[in-house]
């Protein structure tokens, strides 16, 4: 069973409009709605469609 964490809305900044390149690529293979969030070098790509919800997390600082 997956663990669902509830993060504060103020924790991550929504940068979806700034990262159109990422949204275009992710929409191509994930489909549905794609949102991109950022905080202190960590980037989260979240996609959601009728069948599933998926998040990909990367951190350029390696923390």
For every one of its 63 residues, what pLDDT tens digit does the chain have, with 9 covering 90 and above? 677 777 666 578 999 999 999 888 888 877 789 999 998 888 999 998 888 888 888 887 765
Q: Buried b vs exposed e over 2-21: b needs ≥16 C-beta within 10 Å?
A: eeeeeeeeeebeeebeebee
What is the helix (H) or strand (E) element at residue 25, kind and residue range?
Answer: helix 20-30
pTM listed for this prediction = 0.72
Q: Where are the beta strands (DSSP E) in the chain?
A: 13-14, 33-39, 42-48, 53-59
């Amino acid at each position: 069973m997956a663990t669902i964490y509830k993060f504060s809305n103020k924790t991550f900044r929504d940068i979806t409009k700034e990262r159109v390149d990422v949204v275009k690529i992710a929409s191509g293979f994930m489909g549905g709605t794609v949102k991109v969030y950022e905080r202190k070098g960590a980037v989260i790509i979240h996609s959601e469609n009728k069948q599933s919800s998926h998040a990909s997390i990367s951190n350029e600082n390696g923390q």
